[in-house]
Amino acid sequence: MKIAILSQNPHLYSTKRLKEAGQQQGHDMRVVDYLRCYMNITSKKPTIVYKGQPLENFDAIIPRIGASKTFYGTAVVRQFEVMDVFSPNQSQAISRSRDKLRSMQILAREGVGLPITGFAHATQDIDGLIETVGGAPLVIKLLEGTQGIGVVLAETYQAAKSVIEAFRGLDANILVQEFIKEAGGADLRCFVVGGQVIAGMKRQGAEGEFRSNLHRGGNAEEAILSAEEIDTAIRAAKAMGLKIAGVDLLRSNHGPVVMEVNSSPGLEGIESATGIDVAGKIIEFITKNAEQTEEPDHSSGTFRDRIRY
């Protein structure tokens, strides 16, 4: 099988591991920098050109689209979809997952457990917003933040009010969330492939830090997940339409709550914490499902509908 890994950097751990795992399973693996692809979208025969050569005869792609490159990255993924190339995560699902607010609305509609959350732009009604989530302490998040930057814990009502006012001055979109104190500065990363949780890790924030991000000095170990946590992660990935997803949960006293569903979850942390060959499992899933594209059946809907779990 000929598989393209859409990644800006062939030296990243995740990219290297996917390439290696694919080769070990006998596939022809190529790393393609999607920012250097251009597309012919006008002809009857859609094509993608990369470094002057058309990308042809690929059976599958593995999109690893950077958060800041979502617009162009998903356009490239979409072009492969038009060419009937299998993608475990489709362009639409990737775009959906990149919008934190939209993701939460989708998860809420599907009845997936979430922290009580309020959303606002430049609201005048700060008191009302704070009340929505049950008052202080609460967490305030910039909608555009990543890696824990722009995530603030406000311990008191007054602090919450000041931070919201400050963000309002920046004309930013914000989420206001109940603070899950009982999580104790830890979260769970559940790695979902093809509707199954194949690995789980617990990340613990550094001493005195409520954010568990590894980039902020947290550490990770393998997690023993409860049946409810596994079920929540699977339902969250499914609601987002993602076959490969990193679902981040907090252990709250009202059950597991989803914070985020990531469509390009990193492999380094999870493979080293658990010793599981996550890259190998991704390739196995793709091998099993891309085979179907050899006889495309447009009458039965999209690839998403035809995917085997």
Which residues of this protein are in contact with ligand ADP, per CB under 6 A?
115, 139, 141, 145-148, 151, 177, 179-180, 183, 187, 205, 210-213, 248, 250, 259-260
Structure tokens belonging to residue 279: 């890259």
Determine the Cα–Cα distance for residues 166 and 169; give it in Å rounded to an integer: 5
Query: Please, what is the minimum distance in Å from the beta carbon of residue 283 to ligand ADP?
Result: 27
For ligand ADP, which is the closer residue by CB, 59 or 187? 187
Measure Cα distances from 88 to 8, 42, 157, 219, 227 in Å.
Answer: 18, 25, 44, 29, 25
CA atoms of 156 and 136, how far apart (whole Å): 5
Q: How far is the CB of 178 from ligand ADP (least distance, A)?
A: 6
Provide, rounded to whole angstroms, the least separation between the CB of residue 203 and ligand ADP: 7
∠ CA 124-130-135, nearest 5°, is: 155
Residue 4 or 104 having the CB closest to ligand ADP: 104
In one letter, which amino acid is 233? Answer: A
Closer residue to ligand ADP, CB minimum distance, 3 or 152: 152
Quick one: 177 or 289, whose CB is closer to ligand ADP?
177
Considering the complex, what minimum distance in angstroms separates the CB of residue 60 from ligand ADP?
A: 28
- Please, which residues have CB within 8 angstroms of residue 258's CB and are 6 or more apart in sequence? 107, 112, 113, 114, 232, 233, 236, 247, 248, 249
For 164, the token pair is 């919201």
Task: Tell me the β-bridge partners of 192.
Answer: 197, 245
CB-nearer residue toward ligand ADP: 131 or 297: 131
Q: Minimum distance from CB of 145 to ligand ADP (Å)?
A: 5
Q: Judged by CB, which is closer to ligand ADP: 190, or 259?
A: 259
Q: How far is the CB of 93 from ligand ADP (least distance, A)?
A: 18
